[in-house]
Amino acid sequence: MENYFEPCLAPDQLRSISSIGLAHIGDAVFEILARTWLCAHGGATGRGLHRSAVQLVCAESQARRAERILPLLTQEESAVFRRGRNAHVHTVPGHATRAQYGEATALEALFGWLYLGGQRERVNQLFCVMMEEETPCR
Q: What backbone phi and psi angles, to 5 degrees, belong to 94?
A: -65, -20
**CA–CA dist 112, 23 (Å, integer):** 6
Give catalytic status of residue 27 as yes or no: yes
Q: Say if CB 113 and CB 92 are below 8 A apart.
A: no
Give the active site residue among 19, 23, 25, 27.
27
Note down pLDDT in tens along the chain; length 138 residues.
688 999 999 999 999 999 999 999 999 999 999 999 998 887 667 778 888 888 889 999 999 999 999 999 999 999 999 999 988 776 766 677 888 889 999 999 999 999 999 999 999 999 999 998 766 544
| pLDDT recorded at residue 51 | 87
**CA–CA dist 97, 125 (Å, integer):** 27
* pTM summary value: 0.90
